[in-house]
Structure 1
Amino acid sequence: MIKKLFLTILPLLMIACSSNQSVVRTSQPDPRKTTTPVTQRVKKPIYRPSTNKSTGVATQKPVASPAINNNTSTTEILEATTRVKVTAEMVLAYIEKYKNIAKENMVKSGIPASITLGQAILESGAGTGPLSMQANNHFGIKCHKEWSGPSIRYTDDEENECFRKYNEPSGSFRDHSYFLTSRPRYAALFQLEKDDYTAWAKGLKAAGYATDPKYPEKLIGLIERYQLGKYDAEVLGKEYVAVMPKKEIAYTDDVQKYTVVKGDTLYSISKRFNISIEELKRKNNLVDSALSLGQTIIVK
């Protein structure tokens, strides 16, 4: 009896013991897997100025973005109401954006589209200056007594001057046309040929539009470099003949000057006139190697 009972209990004891044995894992958990999601940060392209060692001229190169055509990435300095550095590509994009407004204003006011575009590029830094960015003011138009609209304070000739603020850039272009057509001191301009941008540029300076003595040559240089005269021809229904920018101006007092055009650098000018870069800087009181379109520099 006892033997039968023992044989009956023995299998039960064996089953219980086997169930208490530890389990051995044949695979380890993947340490790369995690329940915490990973956030990827996407950065916008950052533009940093770089310097060409052979010329010393700053250029704009994008970081982690598609390459820009080298022919349109040369840095220019535009300065009037503001001083900014822009590329030719940026200027061309600005022209494309506002050329039709300039042509429409020419039809309505008689002001050459080339003059309107040239002044807008120069005054606003091709739309990158603080007044154009913050106030849509592309011509540096100050408030004046008759202005009752919104305004912005900006230090120009004097500290914290009042400048007009617009909802859209087109309002700035419209006011520019009204500014010239409504003031008697600019009346002589409207006796000039509508496509004579050279006479208009000089006339603006003579009428007191700008305090910069080089304003006419800067404006003419921009118009000729970017062939803005073609928009005057389109409005007037004339055939456009491209005008090559003037390169040299000789003076009888043994001082020779040169007008900067597209592609010029201090290095290329120094080679052309057999003068060192340092001597060019000294003669022209230049603190760096940056050149602006239409700038006149002494080379002899």
Structure 2
Amino acid sequence: MVLSILISCGTSRKMNLNKNILDNPKKEKVHSEKKMSNPIKILSNKEKIQLYITQYSSIAKDEMRAHKIPASITLAQGILESGMGHGRLAKEGNNHFGIKCHEEWKGKQIYHDDDKKGECFRLYKNAAASYRDHSLFLKNRIRYSHLFKIKSSNYKGWAEGLKNAGYATDPNYAEKLISLIERFELTRFDSKMANNNTENYSVSKQMHNFIHIVKKGDTLYSISKQYGVSLDNLVRVNRIKDQIIFLDQELKIPIKN
């Protein structure tokens, strides 16, 4: 009888203990993980475009200063040709303007289905190299030479000129460029760039040495450790608010040359 009571009491205590564990799960570990991670969300197309502008407007301005191509046109082309920075050529080949290899290209290559299957496109080490090659591509070809007679403030003239010169096969190419420029007020990047001081220009060049694409599980802390840069510098260079990063977001890694 005593043995029966002891067994019964032991079983009861075990059951009560299990019930307490189920009713009161520990939350400290989950709370800690939430503190260490950064929220990641899916971007809308508008947000992707705005993020693209934030990331690459300084490069477009540098190219306008060097080669007299309106930054608004360069940005609009980059947004359109790269699929807002999310197309395969942009993500895997840093090719933001859909420039094919052509005979003179001696650099690396990436193959992609376009007008024909498996066409050869140029592969770049980073986005800045793609932007520079785009400038030279326009500047060094006779069929685009008339564009440089158009005022940099005349973005509509540039858009029509690119279409007429055969930059793209899309019959609505000019209209799409103009729409992007007007919707996102890209002409603000065309004005008075020469006033930027030398320090800002050198920092701009430094910021685009490498681009990291955010993947699942990334945090700002882990990315900063991966590249050996300070967390504060990473946040400042990418103008990140509330330490929120997004899946597939491209982050500038300020690695010194």
Shift in alpha-carbon separation, 1:236–1:225, aligned structure 2, 3 A: farther
1:126 counterpart letter in structure 2: M
1:116 aligns with 2:116: no
Q: CA RMSD in A?
A: 2.7
Corresponding residue of 2:164: 206
Q: CA offset at residue 115 of structure 1? A: 0.4
Change (3 A) 1:209 1:67: closer
Percent of matched pairs sharing the same residue: 47
C-alpha distance 107-66 of structure 1, shift in aligned 2 (>3 A): closer
Instruction: Give the number of equivalent residue pairs.
Output: 174
Query: Do residues 136 (structure 1) and 119 (structure 2) align?
Result: no
Give the structure 2 partner of residue 27 of structure 1.
10
More helix by share: 2
Tell me the distance in 1 between the aligned counterparts of 2:130 and 2:110. 14
| Structure-2 change in CA distance of 1:175 and 1:66 (3 Å) | closer
Aligned partners of 2:88 and 2:167: how far apart in 1? 20
Partner of residue 169, structure 1: 127
Q: Unaligned regions of 5+ residues in structure 1, if any?
A: 1-20, 35-39, 42-64, 74-85, 238-300
Provide, for residues 210-241 of structure 1, a one-character-per-residue CA deviation record: whole Å limited to 9, x for no partner.
1111111111011001000111014267xxxx
* 1:14-54 Cα shifts (integer Å, max 9, x gaps): xxxxxxx84723232247379xxxxx99xxxxxxxxxxxxx
2 CA distance for matches of 1:221 and 1:115? 11
Say which SS state the counterpart of residue 152 (structure 1) adopts. Answer: strand
Partner of 1:104: 62
Following superposition of structure 1 onto structure 2, how do residues 1-300 of structure 1 map, counting pairs within 5 Å? 22=3, 24-25=6-7, 26-28=9-11, 29-30=14-15, 32=18, 87-235=45-193
Q: Deviations over 1:124-150 (max 9, x none)?
A: 111011111111111011011111221
Counterpart amino acid of residue 174 in structure 1 = R
1:109 offset after TM fit, Å?
0.3
Q: Which residue of 1 aligns with 2:246?
A: none
**Greater gyration radius:** 1
Give the AA of the match of 1:27.
Answer: G
| Separation (CA, whole Å) in 2 of partners of 1:168 and 1:133 | 10
RCO (CA 8 Å, sep 6+): is it higher in 1 or 2? 2
* Stretches of 4+ aligned residues off by more than 4 angstroms: 65-68
**SS of alignment partner, residue 128 of structure 2:** helix
Corresponding residue SS for 2:157: helix
Q: Alpha carbons of 1:185 and 1:67: their partners in 2 closer, same or farther (altered >3 Å)?
A: closer
Q: Give TM-score scaled by structure 1 length.
A: 0.53
How far, CA to CA, are the matches of 2:173 and 2:130 in structure 1?
20
Q: Identify, as 1 or 2, the structure richer in strand.
A: 1
1:52 maps to: none
